[in-house]
């Protein structure tokens, strides 16, 4: 069942919330994909009982009441360990909930546990975490994508009907493409970031992952909306879906995305999706995407600079890992951070400190800010011509575990189709649109103007009404 159907069955009394949650816990605990990092079983079942009691009492909750949801391990959950998949935060138990967690609970949903990720959301394969790599449900010798790999893999493997992730440069869309599930990266400022442990504050955005667009839209409707605790949350009300008509939309297709650097099978799948939209009445027009060569350098200069500042708080004094062998204040700083952070996090902290340094600030950081403004303006001009932009998510399907982890530049270049969306603060929907010759999922993304989520959801609904890629499930992982 999808999440909406599951909730309907629970609220109709045909199945019980506690029974449902208990089954998902059993599935998750028996997983061989290294998806979950924490499942507080007793507390989760008690929470399911509370929800069932409210349903039995006739209290109206939401269309997703009783549904279990997995949460990425960089979103604060009161009383449950939240580590960002890092040794630095091993054993850290928050005393407060992120706003999105409070909203899930108000809607009658049940947080089943915390899922694995790239350390501090820095990575594109969910291999950089301290607790080991997440495995892809379609082929357990391959990566699940990142940084929200645990969220996408858990949904794809039916260990949870839906999940929350976060997206800084493609971290929801890329694992959705690799794992064959659906996800929404919302407009920056539409979902509260209060309680999200920051990587790059001006780009981080909590989003949703589910099996289809209807489930994702229902979950986004719950978690979106204003929050006085987050000054960057600018929406006046939650999103409302179902009113937009995508019958005659005009779609832009960036022709310069389809070159020698992208797998031909992905190109074929994207153009098959174009045909589906055209047959449904959409107009598709090719265009030249501007500034493509500058997207990845600008993104990594800015995101690393923000990471360098945000992660300075983890110093071994206030909280975080503290080196027991430290004998001086200098030792506390250097040893604690050296031991607490993994290689990829250190790499980005060093890069960020470099671009912010007095001798290089103007040459790198300021230039990257200027390029960011140019990218946003380019999108403004594109959305004066098109309702939606259709693009690939990644240049390849899921690759082998360990294949690219020692080549940072190759990993970074995989963000070429996704990072510009975060630089401009725009929404995007990731959808499965085919499979390659090895049976691995292929994903595409629909990009819209700021706060155009209702139109993106309507377009995604039209596509999924004509295709069945989102209904296909992986087999038994080959471990």
Query: Domain span at residue 41?
Result: 3-245+427-471
**Residue 316 structure tokens:** 């071994």
pLDDT above 70 covers a percentage of the chain that reads: 99
pLDDT at 477 over 70: no
CA distance linking residue 49 with residue 56, whole number of Å? 10
Q: Is residue 204 assigned to a domain? A: yes
Cross-strand pairs, 135 = 143
Catalytic residue (choose from 7, 147, 166, 303):
147
pLDDT at 81 over 90: yes
What is the reported pLDDT for 320?
Answer: 86
Q: Is residue 377 assigned to a domain? A: no
- Across the range 237-242, mean pLDDT stands at 92
Q: How confident is the model at residue 437 (pLDDT cuts 50, 70, 90)?
A: very high
Q: Is residue 269 assigned to a domain? A: no
Catalytic residue (choose from 72, 103, 185, 462):
72
What would the DSSP string read from start to end of 159-205? SSSEEEEEESSSTTHHHHHHHT-EEEEPPTTSB--TTBPPSSTTT-E
Q: Is residue 418 assigned to a domain? A: no
Tokens 């995989």 map to which residue? Answer: 414
Q: Is residue 55 assigned to a domain? A: yes
CB atoms under 10 Å from CB of 69, counted, come to: 30
147 in catalytic set: yes
- Across the range 217-229, mean pLDDT stands at 98
Q: Is residue 390 assigned to a domain? A: no
Q: For the chain, what is the domain count? A: 1
- Across the range 81-96, mean pLDDT stands at 97
pLDDT at 478 over 60: no
- Across the range 355-372, mean pLDDT stands at 96
CATH code, 68: 3.90.1300.10
Q: Is residue 360 assigned to a domain? A: no
* pLDDT (tens digit per residue) in 462-476: 999 999 999 999 975
What would the DSSP string read from start to end of 54-89? HHHTT----TTTT-EEEEETTB--TTS---TT-GGG
Q: Is residue 267 assigned to a domain? A: no
CA distance linking residue 197 with residue 220, whole number of Å? 20
What is the reported pLDDT for 476?
Answer: 52
What is the reported pLDDT for 475?
Answer: 79
- Across the range 427-439, mean pLDDT stands at 97
What is the reported pLDDT for 42?
Answer: 97
Catalytic residue (choose from 125, 126, 151, 171):
171
Task: Report the candidate in 407, 472, 451 with the shortest Cα–Cα distance to residue 180.
Answer: 472
What is the reported pLDDT for 352?
Answer: 98
Q: How confident is the model at residue 275 (pLDDT cuts 50, 70, 90)?
A: very high
């Amino acid at each position: 069942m999808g999440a909406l159907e599951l909730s309907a069955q629970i609220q109709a009394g045909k199945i019980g919330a506690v029974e449902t949650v208990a089954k998902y816990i059993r599935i998750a605990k028996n997983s061989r994909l290294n998806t979950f990092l924490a499942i507080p079983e007793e507390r989760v079942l008690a929470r399911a009982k509370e929800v069932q009691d409210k349903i039995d009492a006739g209290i109206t909750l939401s269309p997703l009441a009783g549904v279990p949801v997995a949460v990425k391990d960089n979103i604060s959950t009161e009383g449950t360990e939240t580590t960002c998949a890092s040794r630095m935060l091993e054993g850290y138990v928050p005393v407060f909930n992120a706003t999105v967690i409070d909203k899930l609970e108000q809607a009658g949903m049940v947080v089943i546990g915390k899922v694995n990720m790239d350390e501090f959301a820095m990575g594109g394969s969910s291999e950089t975490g301290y607790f080991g790599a997440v495995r892809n449900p379609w082929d357990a010798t391959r990566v699940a994508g990142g940084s929200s790999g645990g969220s996408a893999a858990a949904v794809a493997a039916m260990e949870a009907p839906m999940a929350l992730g976060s997206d800084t440069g493609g971290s929801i869309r890329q694992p959705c493409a690799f794992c064959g599930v659906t996800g929404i990266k919302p407009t920056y400022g539409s979902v509260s970031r209060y309680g999200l442990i920051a990587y790059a504050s001006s780009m981080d955005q909590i989003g949703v992952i589910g099996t289809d667009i209807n489930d994702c839209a229902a979950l986004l409707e719950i978690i979106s909306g204003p929050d006085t605790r987050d000054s960057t949350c600018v929406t006046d009300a939650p999103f409302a879906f179902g009113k937009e008509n995508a019958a005659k939309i005009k779609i832009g297709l960036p022709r310069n995305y389809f070159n020698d650097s992208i797998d031909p099978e992905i190109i074929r799948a994207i153009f098959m999706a174009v045909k589906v939209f055209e047959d449904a009445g959409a107009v598709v027009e090719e265009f030249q995407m501007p500034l493509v060569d500058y997207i990845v350098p600008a993104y990594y200069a800015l995101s690393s600079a923000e990471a360098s500042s945000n992660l300075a708080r983890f110093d071994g004094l206030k909280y975080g890992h503290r080196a027991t062998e430290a004998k001086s204040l200098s030792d506390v700083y250097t040893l604690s951070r050296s031991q607490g952070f993994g290689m990829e996090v250190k790499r980005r902290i060093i890069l960020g400190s470099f671009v912010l340094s007095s001798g290089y600030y103007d040459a790198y950081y300021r230039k990257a800010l200027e390029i960011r403004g140019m990218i946003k303006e380019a999108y403004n001009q594109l959305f004066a011509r098109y309702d939606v932009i259709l693009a690939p998510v990644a240049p390849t399907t899921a690759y082998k575990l360990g294949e690219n982890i020692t080549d940072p530049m190759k990993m970074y270049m995989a963000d070429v189709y996704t990072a510009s969306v975060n630089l401009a603060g725009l929404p995007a929907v990731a959808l499965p649109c085919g499979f390659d010759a090895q049976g691995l999922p292929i994903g595409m993304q629909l990009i819209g103007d700021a706060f155009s989520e209702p139109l993106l959801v309507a377009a995604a609904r039209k596509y999924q009404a004509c295709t069945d890629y989102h209904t296909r499930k992986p087999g038994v992982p080959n471990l």
